[in-house]
Amino acid sequence: MHGDPTHWWLGDALGVGSAGLTLDDVDLAELAARHGTPLYVYGAATVRRRFAELRAALAATGLRSRIHYAMKANRHPGLLALVRGEGDLAIDACSPREVDAALACGFTPAEVSVTASMLSRRDLTAFAAQGVHLNLDSRSALRRWSETPGRLPRVGLRINPGVAVGWGDDPKLRYGDSKFGFDGDRVGEAVELATGLGLEVDTLHVHLGWGLQASAAPQIATLCARLAGWARQIPTVRVLNVGGGLCWKQRAEDRPLPLPTWAALLAEHLGPVCRERDLTIACEPGTFVMAAAGVLLAEVNTVERRASGTWIGIDAGHNMNVYAAHYGIPLAIIAVARPQDPPTAPVHVAGNVNEANDVFARDLRLPELAEGDLLALWPAGAYGAAMASDHCMRGLPSELLIERSPVPGDSRAPLSYGTG
């Protein structure tokens, strides 16, 4: 990452060119002029780089592994086609319609893993017809799945990790002791129930939380040790799914869990049982792959000075991106035309939805702004457009996948676009 804390976002996917801010070396102002705002832009090169980094980290463990892209993070058709084109990636889905989207993109049922909670009979019937593998987390779901015509005979069990870690202190971002998973001290009972129902438990699934930081390493070690212990008690288990949680910086002071640390924890605590039993480690990256690969472009439509401060209004609201309003997660807000200009007095940045919580930032120092200027919100490639709504009938955002055609020796080669 860039060494300047003021411009901490500069370096990996974002850069500065002659026209201002760039994503994967593509001018964002030009894309906004061509396609309008609000606009999500995703860089294919960054997505591919993230997958390559993840593969390398898993390879360093020396263990058999499989990557399931968490498509709930971003289901843009062009991105799903990119994931499919990588050739060695599978899908993590959580609804019948997500499975349909994956199958329509060319994934086979065997390449789709479903982890979902509070499932209806309609859901289970659909999953059985689609022929996909489920990780279930309740006795009720196990019973009803066993009764579902056409269902697969093998299932996974999602287990409550028993530790609460994630980005910040909001329980929305921590999955331990929440609505998810069998209690760890009752895994044996869940296996006995599944076996009695004619099901075979072939997968154990855990997911700690969103936005894992380096400080979470001790809790991850504890969980991996528990996961290894559970696996040793269940002879039918073939896959240990460690879920997602790997992330990108949301602010300068964040210290995301480094990939080498994560991989070393897997190797240390899961390696022995995986080698003894020839088990596969599965993971479900979403934010790690997509976050830094995407920006949300919005136009400044209002500059208003009030007793409460200077308000910068933009043509995108929390219906376009829920990070700030729903989770309290900040996004970097960058002036596209002058990303490195010195900041002036603090401002509040607000969206165009008629709700008091539709505020992206308060007391944020930005360069001097005028109506008509462009702002970029980053990292916005994960859980942005995928969670967008038509609240206040503001409509849904446009999305654009960008990639330069590989023309040797030409750094300004033509762009290929994928829209949706």
pLDDT of residue 35: 96
What's the mean per-residue pLDDT of the chain?
Answer: 92
pLDDT of residue 309: 94
Tens digits of residue pLDDT in 361-407: 999 999 999 999 999 999 999 999 999 999 999 999 999 999 976 65
pLDDT at 176 over 60: no
Average pLDDT, stretch 126-153? 98
Average pLDDT, stretch 230-249? 96
Strands 39-43 and 20-23: unpaired
pLDDT of residue 209: 83
Reported confidence tier of residue 208, pLDDT bands at 50, 70, 90 = confident
Q: 170-179, 200-209, 268-277: which range is least confident on average?
A: 170-179
* Closest alpha carbon to 252 in 41, 11, 43, 88: 11
pLDDT of residue 412: 45
pLDDT of residue 178: 64
The region that residue 189 occupies, defined by phi over 0 for left and psi between -120 and 50 for alpha, beta otherwise, is: alpha
Tens digits of residue pLDDT in 37-69: 999 999 999 999 999 999 999 999 999 999 999
- Which of 208 and 133 is assigned the larger pLDDT? 133
Reported confidence tier of residue 325, pLDDT bands at 50, 70, 90 = confident
pLDDT of residue 405: 65
Tens digits of residue pLDDT in 65-111: 999 999 999 999 999 999 999 999 999 999 999 999 999 999 999 99
Reported confidence tier of residue 167, pLDDT bands at 50, 70, 90 = low
Average pLDDT, stretch 226-237? 96
Q: Cβ neighbours of residue 217 under 8 Å, at least 6 residues apart?
A: 257, 261, 265
* Closest alpha carbon to 61 in 231, 226, 281: 281
Average pLDDT, stretch 106-135? 97
**Rounded distance, CA 3 to CA 1, Å?**
6
Tokens of 21: 């801010």
**Distance of CA 418 to CAs 43, 77, 154, 396, Å?**
10, 8, 37, 17
pLDDT at 335 over 80: yes
Average pLDDT, stretch 319-343? 92
pLDDT of residue 5: 66
pLDDT at 163 over 80: no
Q: At what angle do helices 96-104 and 77-86 cross, to 10 degrees?
A: 60
First to last CA, the chain: 31
Q: Running DSSP on this structure, what letter comes out for residue 21?
A: E
pLDDT of residue 218: 93
Whole-number percent of the chain with pLDDT over 70: 92
pLDDT at 116 over 80: yes
pLDDT of residue 411: 45
Reported confidence tier of residue 3, pLDDT bands at 50, 70, 90 = very low
Q: 198-202, 255-259, 355-359, 409-413: which range is least confident on average?
A: 409-413
